[in-house]
Structure 1
């Protein structure tokens, strides 16, 4: 038997696996690195976060990613060289972490790398009927595996599409396996660049679902980066809190077929970007608004999309609790809109012992664990959720 296959077989048979999960989102703030231990697999299998850190990207690296991000006419040479470079860069960051944590490559069974999304193209967002759903993440896992000496799983979203999904959201798999509860119905809300949530009805394993709902931080972040050089986001909503919501602009922002499309669905910055905002400003003759008012309106826009989706799918009068993760949880203005509407305190996944900043990195570690030791049958049938194992394997030798 090939030595790599033998090693993978041995890892799959272990009672406890140590897996590093990696996540880099659309805000380009840094690489989330979560060192996790999984005991067994499937629903209820214990997961323990041993270490977590976000390794902040340099301003130069952020600009490199932005140069190819959601661009229909990106420099193909730049995409090619960044694919290799990002894999090597991730490896350097992991090796730094292992040294800091007093570990070696032999102490880690697997790496699970999401990569860096540069374009997400579900069928409903691209104009060519000849093509189906598609998505692209770069950051070559062979470079990552060879330079760390650790077997690496990557490119998780492709199998989701091959199985009939749209490549997102993938959080449903981790949410279902980790956070399901027989007595409490839960909404696991993640507010990243795009907001999405998973609904987990109490004691109804076949009734769960997950969907994107619209922009989370992406429009606010893009606007801040354009008008406030050196800032990448509105920290503590300090800028937006100085403004007033413009209801005319808000109503125009909500006029898009995406918000009327059936659930589940996905979207991305390919739709919700500054061009989208500028069209709304022009259509409503609101181009003279202050930056503070625009940001206040964008926060309300993100909140309204979340509210609209939860009410349409879960119901405003339903008995459920909301648990939040993602960068948007640090936007007090956005959260205040949600808490006021639903009349309940929105808590983070910290209450379950899962660091909300680490949650998405843990998710990909979990997907790797399920790929090598679990079964697609761990997921009960649910609409729009393919029962597939995700992740391509890269060997260090």
Structure 2
């Protein structure tokens, strides 16, 4: 099986993505031809399979020091690996494909904890990261080879293990004449700046994407809603500028790239403390949701203004991820970025929902082809490297 896989010039790959938003599992089945800059990708089928509330809340607790333990991490590593396997099997059936039609599965895994910089006070807390969803479980349950655990390889050569999507952003969206920013808005926001001609790529995490908004909506609705559909609730409110400025004073936003973040800084604890302060101010619920939405928009725009616009002429900002459906958020970005055209990746023929899962399929393809698939300028790695590990069925 492995020898056949390595000798193929085109592959059908199922890309798996489960992000920091913890909303579910995305599966993109794609056909890929070529390698490196000559790679071509076609989306064959996409499914997004939401987590039920119990799974989502268990994962949120797992991503905290206070409410996690080694037994829970150990068990969930296998439990969510089984979920990933089931998701691929379901998506193949929905696409009228057999598992034998899929050459490879490429899985991001579920991030539980991420330490992008070493703790200088503790020898045993170096740069490190943990994504669960055991690769062997996926491989044995699906009968297909699986590539995953990409981030650790970048960290092993001095990087922060993120962002990883710039590799695929470059392959899919480089333009000879236009400078572009690819902005994914999942649980965390991450951007890739590609100047015209694709010289001098830069990338970093802009800060919270949907993470704070979703948690606030969940709490204010007493669990009836997990997100603000279309940004409708935020559209009814008014942004509290004083509270917004206090949020934007967080030290993360002043740090220069390369930089990454996640639930370690902006998770459930941060959201709970912020929500408590907003309620103490007597803000109506709609104003709280509007301010949380503005936090994401302003942190993205300030990241560009501080770290991208001084070096690059950018014509377009291309949005993907769940945040692409939040019209209020997109309208806020449009007001903050009047000199750039704001559009979604759908408008360029790449599904905003499927894009990240497609990009992880590309990372899996590059692994099989023996091609380096990190971008040192984005992660801070000292050299290009081949990221990924292989599990056989």
- TM (norm. structure 1) is 0.91
Corresponding pairs, count: 387
Task: Identify the range of structure 1 (25-34 vs 359-368) with the bigger mean alpha-carbon deviation.
Answer: 25-34
Partner of 1:4: none
Residues 223 and 274 in structure 1, CA contact (< 8 A), matched pair in contact too: no
- Say if 1:366 and 1:285 are closer, same or farther in 2 by CA, change over 3 A: closer
1:187 to 174, 181, 185: 181
- Say if 1:193 and 1:14 are closer, same or farther in 2 by CA, change over 3 A: same
Tell me by how many angstroms 1:54 deviates: 0.7
- Say if 1:92 and 1:273 are closer, same or farther in 2 by CA, change over 3 A: closer
**Distance (whole Å) between structure 1 residues aligned to residue 31 and residue 259 of structure 2:** 32
Query: 3-state DSSP class of the match of 2:160?
Result: coil
Query: 3-state DSSP class of the match of 1:239?
Result: helix
Partner of 2:259: 265
Residues 63 and 264 in structure 2, CA contact (< 8 A), matched pair in contact too: no
Structure 1 residue ranges without an equivalent (≥5): 1-6
Tell me by how many angstroms 1:67 deviates: 3.0
Tell me by how many angstroms 1:277 deviates: 4.8
Query: 3-state DSSP class of the match of 2:318?
Result: strand
Question: Where do residues 188-203 of structure 1 align in structure 2 (5 Å cutoff)?
Answer: 188-203=182-197
Structure 2 residue ranges without an equivalent (≥5): none
Partner of 1:348: 344
2:102 to 101, 108, 130: 108
Residues 252 and 284 in structure 1, CA contact (< 8 A), matched pair in contact too: no
Q: Does 1:215 align with 2:208?
A: yes
**Distance (whole Å) between structure 2 residues aligned to residue 265 and residue 286 of structure 1:** 32
Tell me by how many angstroms 1:19 deviates: 0.5
Query: 3-state DSSP class of the match of 1:382?
Result: helix
Partner of 2:41: 47
**Distance (whole Å) between structure 2 residues aligned to residue 56 and residue 276 of structure 1:** 24
**Distance (whole Å) between structure 1 residues aligned to residue 302 and residue 267 of structure 2:** 20
Tell me by how many angstroms 1:276 deviates: 3.1
Computed over aligned residues only, the root mean square deviation of the Cα atoms, in angstroms, reads 2.2
Partner of 1:75: 69
**Distance (whole Å) between structure 2 residues aligned to residue 194 and residue 159 of structure 1:** 21
Partner of 1:173: 167
Q: Does 1:361 align with 2:357?
A: yes
**Distance (whole Å) between structure 2 residues aligned to residue 256 and residue 193 of structure 1:** 18
**Distance (whole Å) between structure 2 residues aligned to residue 60 and residue 281 of structure 1:** 22
Q: Does 1:58 align with 2:52?
A: yes
- Say if 1:186 and 1:110 are closer, same or farther in 2 by CA, change over 3 A: same
Question: Where do residues 178-327 of structure 1 align in structure 2 (5 Å cutoff)?
Answer: 178-205=172-199, 207-228=200-221, 229-277=223-271, 279=273, 286-315=280-309, 318-327=313-322
Query: 3-state DSSP class of the match of 2:28?
Result: strand
1:328 to 323, 327, 333: 323
Residues 170 and 198 in structure 2, CA contact (< 8 A), matched pair in contact too: no
Query: 3-state DSSP class of the match of 1:271?
Result: helix
1:106-127 CA distance string (max 9 Å, x none):
2111000111112222227x67
Tell me by how many angstroms 1:133 deviates: 1.8
Residues 23 and 360 in structure 1, CA contact (< 8 A), matched pair in contact too: yes
Residues 12 and 101 in structure 2, CA contact (< 8 A), matched pair in contact too: yes
Residues 154 and 374 in structure 2, CA contact (< 8 A), matched pair in contact too: no
Task: Identify the range of structure 1 (156-165 vs 97-106) with the bigger mean alpha-carbon deviation.
Answer: 97-106
2:153 to 148, 154, 159: 159
**Distance (whole Å) between structure 2 residues aligned to residue 351 and residue 152 of structure 1:** 31
Query: 3-state DSSP class of the match of 1:211?
Result: strand
